[in-house]
Every structure is written in structure tokens, then in C-alpha cells.
């Protein structure tokens, strides 16, 4: 029975969420936040595979999200909409809800391919050098996208809303919420199952003692490249979802700041802990949204108290002071994050009575 | 045909000649020792044989196949296992997981099977689990299956490493100073374990060791090297009385 508790709870929560959204009980803002929490979860959990389980330091994860976002958008526009870029739709728009997984898959594969391109030359290096290479890769990807005029260049790319609308025409459901839940499920399931199999434990082995891993039969180069590809592929999935939720993509949304957000979520949650990173992704997304309200309030209060000169306003830019500050404080006072490298069931063994994750 | 045959192995690190013209052979089920003063090149031999270094010159044939140029994981898959002078366990994984991972070369399934949890995956994992528990049982480690290696005393860590090497069903086991850092009671245990492994698994063992007690009581044959050259070969009795060997260890004045 307990084998299925978590699955049942997850399914019930998903159905409840979709039902609430369908009934109109959640306003559009709340719904968007929930969707973004899901996307951030995918983004952070996939980064955790490389930075947590494998112990490497990838700083350009958003670059792969960018690849996924653009490839997903292009596929979706080419498949289901009449556009200037691709001409008439390849498939009738009524097929959109059924073929959307193909769009997601295509985006993931493209991002995984980019992961491979970055991984092949860089995995003879380690640590700091890999960090530098991944930052560079992030910039390269953004620059490439910004310099292709056909897909909008620096102006960004749009048209995905039509796909989402086409899905709504077939059945009036909160489609993007459903697809995000689906993506979340695929991502968490993939990483969890991988890391509990002996095959995936090869990744931890490489992290904990590479020489021992190599001598015990683990092909370390292959394992590293595999992990990097899975990680970037899932980031691509997050990207494709993001593009469709927004209906618009711009390469600058996936710059180094976005990569930093990913790092904050992973280190906040605890490297190598899926439950920790999920908690962190939820907490972090909510925090960023909360700052949206807190900063103007702080501004008003400080002005009322006469703490700030009349001409100075605290703007939303301060978000980018506060978030890195969290990272600094975290490294100082709790470098292992919420859960360290343990899962929730290891921190609270009593939970095991209720759940085993399958 | 010998299980392992090394011919004219030479290794240079820049200007340093770490090994010159090292030739050696090992039959199936033999238990042979490799000794020599510090820095003589013993670990270099092991590192070349297990695939970590590529030798400058020379030929290595293991189990009828030339393994020069093989990477360590390929050598392992052919049935060679080794332990290290300084213990190299995966410290944040349970002892059981450490042993399970030794079956990595013979997993029999890949990424998609792992993610989709196919019947094939479940079958393979069950076999691995059974094998790992069996090895733990045999090495008197069953009680520690759920422990993290870093929480175990040093002697037990050595034994876990030995168990991990055995879990791959090797034909040849390379032991790099298995008694290093052990107290005398642990050394007795180790000698007993190695002898038992040798009889029970019917495998060949080649060991580097400094403690004469271990070498003399276990090995059928010894090779002595100094400055990368073989200076003596023979039974432990012969070696004990060999003047060249005594010179290498103790210097000319000792005579």
C-alpha cells in the first residue's frame, strides 16, 4: 500500500489543482505562479543531477533552457500555426493537444544535443574550468539566438499562444498547467529512478571517488556525458514549457542570472537531494514573487520613516541584491542547504512508514 | 599459457625512468608478491597493468588478450580487480551500494530500462542485490551492509574494499599494500582472509606488500624490484637470503 501513497497523493493533488483552475477558483496570477513553480522545479532538479549528484559545477544551465525554449517554440509554431516563418501549419490545429508531447520531446532532444556538444570538449577539464566553459556556453547560445534574425533576434519570438489557444479550442482545459505537471512528473521520475538504480549510482561514484569508479568498471567519461545530456535535456523541457506559458521568448531571459537562480535553488535545497531541491524551488519562486510586493512596501515604509532621501526609490532591481545575498548567507551559515545530500525520508525516518517513492 | 604475461615493460615520466624492461608472468591460481623499497616502481606496475597509465614500451597480455591501451573499466570488465594503497571507497554510499556498484560492468541494462523500470531492469537489480549480499556474507560484513564506509574502523574499510574487488568475480586480484595501516590483530585477520579468498574463489592474486610477515606467510613466489628493475625472483626462502635484496633494502653497510 505505502508503495503507492506518494503517487496517489501526487495524482490527487494534480487533479485537484487542475479542477480548481478549471472551476476558476484560482485567479490567473496564482495559476501562473503555480506553473512557474513547476517549471523552476524541473529546472532545479535537472541542474541538481550535474551539480549535486555528479559534483561538477555547471554555471550555464539556463543556456540549455534557452535551446529548449526556442526549439519548442519553433516546432510548435511550425506544427500548429500559420506563420510568416514556416508558412501554413504542418498539422491541423485540432491535433495540438495530442502532438504537444512531440514538441516537448523535440525541445528536450535539441537541448540534450547541445549538452553533448558542450560536454564533449569540456569533460577532460574539471571544477573551475568546467564552470568557466559552461558560462561561456551560456553566452554563446544566447548570442547565437540573438543573431538569427529569422527567429526574431534580440526582439524575441512569439506565436506560441496560438498553439495554446488551439489546444483550448479542442477542450477548454488549463492546458499549460497540465503539461507542466506532466513535465514535472517526467523530470522527477527520471532523476529519481536513475539515481536509485545501480546504473545511475555510477554518477555518485564518479563524484565521490573518480579513480575508484574507473577501476570498478564505470566508464567515467561516458557517465559524465550521459548525466550532462540528461540534465540539459530536462532543462530544455523546462524551457519549452516556459515559452508556452509566457507565449513569448527572449534570449535574455536565459542569461547568467537565470543560471544563478538555478544554482541558488540547488544549493538552498541541498546538493544531491531531490526533495530538498523541490522544496527550495517552491520556496525560492514564492520568495521572488513576494519580493515584488515587499519592495514597494519597504520603499513606502522607509520614506514614511524618513530613512531615505526624497529623490531615491527602492526599485525592483533590489531583487538582484537580495537573491545573491541569500546565496552568500547560505554559504556562510548552512552550506549544505535545507537537507544536505539526504532525502526527506532520511531526515525524518518516520515518513518511511507512509511513503516509499516508486 | 599464463594468465598474465608482461614483456619488456618500460615507463618514463619525463626524464625519470620509473620502470625499465620489466618482464613477469603469472599463472592461474598463483599467489605472488611484488616487493621493493619505497619508490621502486611497484605501484607504477599496478597502475599500468590496470590501465591507469599507458606504458612507454612493452606488452601486456591478460587472459589471452593484449590489454595495452585499454582504459581501466575495460580491464575490469575482462576480469581484473584491484584495491588501493590508500583506501578508495565511496564514502557517502552504504557498504551494500559500494559492493553493488562493483557489478557495473555486468549490469545488463541501460538508461531507458532504469527509467522505465522494465522487467529486465528488475531482474538484473535482483541478481546484483543477491550477489552483493552473498559477498558481504562471505566476508563477514553482512552486519555493516547499511553503514557508510567512512563510519567504519580502518580494518573494516580495508575488508569492504577487498569485498568490493571480489564482487566482480575477478580472475586476477591486484592488492596494493593491503596491510598498510593495520594493527597486528587486523593483519592476522587479513592474512586469513586473503588465504581463504585464494582457496575459495580459486583466483590468482598479485600483491604489493611491505610487511614481511604477510608476504612470507602468503606468497608462493616473490619478485623484488628496485629503481624500476627486477633485482631478484624466487621463493620467499630464496629472497630472504638474497644478498642483492638485503643490499637494496638496508644498504651496503648492512653486510
Q: How confident is residue B224, by pLDDT bands cut at 50, 70 and 90? A: very high
C-alpha separations of A341 from A279, A346, A354, B89 in Å: 13, 10, 21, 18
Mean pLDDT of chain B: 91
Select from B111, B128, B164 the Cβ nearest to the Cβ of A198: B128
Q: Is B71 in contact with A214 (Cβ distance < 8 A)? A: yes
As a whole number, mean pLDDT of residues A11-37 equals: 90
Residues of A in contact with B67 (CB under 8 A): none
Strands (E), A208-354: 248-249
The string of pLDDT tens digits covering residues A181-192 is 999 999 999 999
Question: Chain B: residue nearest A212 by CA?
Answer: B88
Considering only CB atoms, which chain A residues are within 8 Å of B71?
A: 214, 219
What confidence score (pLDDT) does residue B162 get?
A: 92
Return all residues near B179 (Cβ < 8 A) that are at least 6 apart. Answer: B186, B187, B190, B209, B210, B211, B214
H or E segment and range at residue A274: helix A274-304
Inter-CA distances, A308 with A304, A315, A322, B169, Å: 9, 13, 18, 73
Closest residue on chain B to A219 (Cα): B73
Q: Is there a contact between B115 and A226 if contact means CB atoms under 8 Å apart?
A: no
Give the pTM. Answer: 0.89
For B3, how many CA atoms within 13 A lie in the half-sphere containing its CB?
Answer: 21
Of A199, A205, A215, the CB nearest to B82: A215
Give the helix/strand (H/E) hosting B232: strand B229-234
Q: Which of A337-346, B91-100, B144-153, B182-191 has the lowest mean pLDDT?
A: A337-346
Q: Residue A138 belongs to a domain with what CATH number?
A: 1.10.3470
Tell me the mean pLDDT in the region A14-20.
Answer: 90
Whole-number pLDDT of residue A326: 80
Query: Between these two residues, B42 and A314, which has the higher pLDDT value?
Result: B42
Q: How far is B241 from chain A (nearest CA, A)?
A: 36
Contact list, A209 vs chain B (CB under 8 Å): 88-91
CATH class for the domain made up of B4-254: alpha beta
**pLDDT confidence bin for A4, thresholds 50/70/90:** confident
Question: Which region among A135-139, A347-351, B121-125, B214-218 has the lowest average model confidence (pLDDT)?
Answer: A347-351
Judging contacts by C-beta atoms under 8 Å, the chain B residues touching residue A194 are 111, 114-115
The neighbour count for residue A240, using CB atoms within 10 Å, is 33
Distance between CA atoms of A163 and A175, rounded to whole angstroms?
10
Residue B144, pLDDT score: 95
Tell me if B46 sits within 8 A of B25, measured CB to CB. Answer: no
Give which of B156, B84, B58, B111 is closest to A197, Cα–Cα.
Answer: B111
What residue numbers bound the domain in which A13 lies?
2-255
What is the SS3 assignment for A231-262?
HHHHHHHHHHHHHHHHCEECHHHHCHHHHHHH
Q: Which residue of A has its CA nearest to B82?
A: A215
Candidate from A193, A208, A214 with C-beta closest to B73 = A214
Q: What is the pLDDT of residue B49?
A: 94
Residue with cell 574502523: B153
* Portion of chain B with pLDDT greater than 70, in percent: 99
- pLDDT tens across B137-179, in order? 999 999 999 999 999 999 899 999 999 999 999 999 999 999 9
Angle, helix A28-48 to helix A175-196, in steps of 10 degrees? 20
Residue A155: inside a domain: yes
- Pick the range with the lowest mean pLDDT from A78-92, A139-153, A240-254, B212-226: A78-92
What is the pLDDT averaged over residues A312-318?
Answer: 83
Would you place residue A353 in the very low, low, confident or very high pLDDT band (cuts 50, 70, 90)?
low
CA distances from A126 to A119, A122, A133, B6, B52 (A): 11, 8, 10, 34, 18
Contact B111 A194 (CB under 8 A): yes
Nearest-CA distance A232 → chain B (Å) = 16
Hey, what's the cell of B139? 566476508
Q: pLDDT over 90 for what percent of chain A?
A: 52
Total domains, chain A: 1
State the Cα–Cα distance between residues A277 and A283, nearest whole angstrom.
10
Given an 8 Å threshold on Cβ–Cβ distance, is B71 in contact with A219?
A: yes
Does the pLDDT value for residue A2 go beyond 70? no
pLDDT value of position A354? 66
DSSP label at residue A49: I
Three-state DSSP state, B176? strand
Q: Is residue A9 part of a domain?
A: yes
Distances (CA, A) of A317 to A156, A292, A295, A314: 22, 10, 9, 8
Q: Find chain A residues with C-beta within 8 A of B43's C-beta.
A: none
pLDDT level of residue A358 (50, 70, 90 thresholds)? very low
Mean pLDDT of B10-37: 90
Domain-located, residue A324: no
Q: Which residues contact A358 (CB under 8 A, 6 or more apart)?
A: A3, A4, A6, A7, B117
Mean pLDDT across the stretch B103-109? 90
- Residue labelled with grid coordinates 568490493: B164
pLDDT tens digits along A32-65? 999 999 999 999 999 999 999 998 889 999 999 9
Name which of A2-6, A139-143, A230-234 the model is least confident about. Answer: A2-6
Q: Are A286 and A350 in contact (CB under 8 A)?
A: no
Give me the pLDDT at residue A336, please: 82
- Indicate whether A317 pLDDT > 90: no
Q: Which are the contacts of B239, defined by CB distance < 8 A and separation ≥ 6?
A: B35, B222, B224, B232, B245
* C-beta of residue B164 within 8 angstroms of C-beta of residue B102: yes
Residue A98 covered by a domain: yes
Given pLDDT bands bounded at 50, 70 and 90, which one contains residue A180? very high
Q: Name the residue among A101, A49, A135 with its Cα closest to residue A240.
A: A101
**Given this model, what pLDDT does residue A312 score?**
84
pLDDT band at residue A299, thresholds of 50, 70 and 90?
Answer: confident
User: Nearest C-alpha of chain A: how many angstroms from B199?
Assistant: 23
Residue A45 in domain: yes
- pLDDT score of A165 more than 50: yes
DSSP line for B134-172 = HHHHHTT-GGGTTS-GGGS-HHHHHHHHHHHHHTT--SE
Amino acid at each position: 500500500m505505502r508503495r503507492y501513497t506518494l503517487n496517489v497523493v501526487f495524482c490527487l493533488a494534480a487533479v485537484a489543482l487542475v479542477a480548481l483552475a478549471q472551476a476558476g477558483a484560482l485567479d490567473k496570477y496564482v495559476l501562473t505562479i503555480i506553473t512557474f513553480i513547476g517549471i523552476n522545479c524541473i529546472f532545479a532538479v535537472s541542474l541538481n543531477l550535474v551539480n549535486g549528484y555528479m559534483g561538477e559545477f555547471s554555471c550555464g544551465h539556463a543556456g540549455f533552457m534557452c535551446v529548449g525554449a526556442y526549439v519548442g517554440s519553433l516546432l510548435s509554431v511550425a506544427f500548429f500555426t500559420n506563420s510568416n516563418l514556416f508558412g501554413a501549419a504542418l498539422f491541423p490545429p485540432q491535433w495540438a493537444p495530442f502532438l504537444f508531447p512531440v514538441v516537448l520531446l523535440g525541445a528536450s532532444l535539441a537541448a540534450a544535443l547541445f549538452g553533448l556538444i558542450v560536454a564533449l570538449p569540456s569533460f577532460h577539464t574539471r571544477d573551475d574550468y568546467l564552470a568557466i566553459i559552461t558560462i561561456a556556453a551560456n553566452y554563446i547560445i544566447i548570442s547565437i539566438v540573438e543573431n538569427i534574425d529569422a527567429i526574431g533576434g534580440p526582439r524575441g519570438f512569439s506565436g506560441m499562444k496560438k498553439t495554446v489557444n488551439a489546444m483550448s479550442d479542442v477542450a477548454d482545459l488549463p492546458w499549460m498547467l497540465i503539461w507542466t505537471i506532466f513535465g514535472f512528473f517526467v523530470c522527477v521520475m527520471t532523476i529519481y529512478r536513475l539515481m536509485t538504480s545501480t546504473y545511475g549510482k555510477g554518477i555518485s561514484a564518479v563524484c565521490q571517488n573518480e579513480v575508484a569508479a574507473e577501476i570498478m568498471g564505470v566508464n567515467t567519461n561516458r557517465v559524465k556525458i550521459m548525466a550532462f545530456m540528461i540534465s540539459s535535456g530536462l532543462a530544455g523541457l523546462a524551457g519549452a514549457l516556459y515559452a508556452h506559458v509566457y507565449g513569448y521568448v527572449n534570449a535574455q531571459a536565459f542569461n547568467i542570472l537565470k543560471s544563478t537562480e538555478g544554482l541558488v535553488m540547488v544549493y538552498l535545497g541541498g546538493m544531491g537531494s531531490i526533495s530538498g531541491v523541490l522544496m527550495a524551488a517552491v520556496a525560492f519562486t514564492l520568495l521572488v514573487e513576494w519580493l515584488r510586493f515587499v519592495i514597494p512596501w519597504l520603499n513606502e515604509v522607509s520614506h514614511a520613516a524618513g530613512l531615505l532621501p526624497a529623490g531615491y526609490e527602492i526599485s525592483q532591481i533590489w531583487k538582484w541584491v537580495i537573491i545573491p545575498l541569500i546565496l552568500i548567507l547560505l554559504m556562510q551559515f548552512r552550506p549544505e542547504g535545507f537537507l544536505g545530500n539526504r532525502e526527506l525520508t532520511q531526515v525524518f525516518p518516520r515518513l518511511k512508514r507512509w511513503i516509499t517513492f516508486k | 599459457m599464463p594468465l598474465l604475461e608482461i614483456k619488456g615493460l618500460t615507463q618514463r615520466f619525463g626524464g625519470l625512468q620509473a620502470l625499465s624492461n620489466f618482464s613477469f608472468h603469472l599463472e592461474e591460481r598463483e599467489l605472488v608478491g611484488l616487493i621493493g623499497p619505497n619508490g621502486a616502481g611497484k605501484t607504477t606496475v599496478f597502475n599500468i597493468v590496470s590501465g591507469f597509465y599507458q606504458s612507454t614500451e612493452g606488452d601486456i597480455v591478460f587472459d589471452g588478450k593484449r590489454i595495452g591501451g585499454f582504459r581501466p573499466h575495460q580491464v575490469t570488465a575482462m576480469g581484473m580487480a584491484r584495491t588501493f594503497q590508500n583506501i578508495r571507497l565511496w564514502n557517502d554510499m552504504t557498504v551494500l551500494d559500494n559492493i553493488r556498484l562493483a557489478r557495473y560492468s555486468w549490469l545488463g541494462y541501460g538508461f531507458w530500462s532504469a527509467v522505465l523500470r522494465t522487467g529486465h531492469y528488475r531482474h538484473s537489480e535482483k541478481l546484483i542485490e543477491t550477489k552483493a549480499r552473498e559477498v558481504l556474507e562471505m566476508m563477514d560484513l553482512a552486519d555493516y551492509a547499511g553503514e557508510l564506509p567512512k563510519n567504519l574502523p580502518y580494518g573494516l574499510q580495508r575488508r569492504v574494499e577487498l569485498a568490493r574487488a571480489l564482487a566482480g568475480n575477478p580472475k586476477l586480484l591486484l592488492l596494493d599494500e593491503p596491510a598498510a595501516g593495520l594493527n597486528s590483530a587486523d593483519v592476522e585477520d587479513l592474512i586469513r582472509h586473503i588465504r581463504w579468498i585464494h582457496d575459495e574463489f580459486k583466483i590468482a592474486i598479485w600483491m604489493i606488500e611491505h610487511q614481511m610477515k604477510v608476504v612470507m606467510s602468503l606468497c608462493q613466489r616473490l619478485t623484488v624490484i628496485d629503481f624500476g628493475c627486477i633485482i631478484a625472483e624466487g621463493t620467499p626462502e630464496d629472497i630472504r637470503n638474497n644478498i642483492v635484496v638485503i643490499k637494496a633494502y638496508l644498504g651496503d653497510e648492512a653486510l
